[in-house]
Structure 1
Amino acid sequence: MQKQSSSQPRQHIEKHKAILDERRHELETRLRAIEHDFEQPRNPDDDDRAAERNNDEVLEELGETGQKELLAVQAALDRIQAGTFGICVKCGKPIAERRLDAVPHTPFCQSCAQSI
């Protein structure tokens, strides 16, 4: 796999690293809040418990989605560290800056993402 090319100047890498670090922090904060909510004592009232169960299902889905995104963000940060950020993990071609701006944690160029 090739290393970062001249199409990925250091300033762009640093910009994306800052965005990814911020997103990681946001996700970690959100996941801690969800975990904290699950740890709270449940209401003994049947009607309230039913509503809490519905809320728990929503929180669980948000938690799972957040964990998946957190893994993708961390993988992107690992690619920055390895010097392979901005290079498609499937075809090895550079990922367009516009795509990285839209989805900074993407491991795929537009073409490979569409084929998956």
Structure 2
Amino acid sequence: MSAYNEIATQLKTRLADLLERAEVIEDDLRHPLDADSSEQAVDLADDEALEGVDEVLRAEIQQIRYALARIENDTYGSCATCGEDIGLDRLKARPIATRCIKHAD
């Protein structure tokens, strides 16, 4: 794991930030609708946009947790397709990468 300590620290920092953002969004989504029907329409549109953002955040949170688990169990840095090493430069640029450049989507 020592080779990936810096990446793990960055991932943990990013995870904390995303969890905080997701909590703020979820708190905002729990607010009651305004009594005015025109305001309700605006609130519903805003909520729909927030739900989309929350979904993206949750997906990234899941990817980060998966990367941290791979670091913990010493499978981080191996391509999920071919088993070859994922280059350190790629991992630094995209720490949630599960595939080498050759097999990247």
Band the TM-score falls in, shorter-chain normalisation = over 0.9
Percent identity at matched positions?
30
Within-5 A mapping of 1:1-116: 10=2, 12-114=3-105
Deviation at 1:42, TM superposition (A): 1.3
1:45-86 CA deviation, whole Å, 9 max, x = no partner? Answer: 111111111111111001111111111000000000001111
1:32 Cα deviation from its structure 2 partner: 0.6
Separation in structure 2 between the aligned mates of residue 107 and residue 27 of structure 1, nearest angstrom: 20
SS in 2 for 1:74: helix
Matched residue count: 105
Gaps of 5+ in 1: 5-9
Question: The residue matched to 1:105 in structure 2 has which SS?
Answer: coil
4+ runs deviating over 4 angstroms? none
TM-score by length of 1: 0.85
State TM-score, norm by structure 2: 0.93
Structure 1 residue 99 displacement after superposition: 1.1
Note the residue ranges of structure 2 that are not aligned, 5 or more in a row: none
RMSD: 1.2
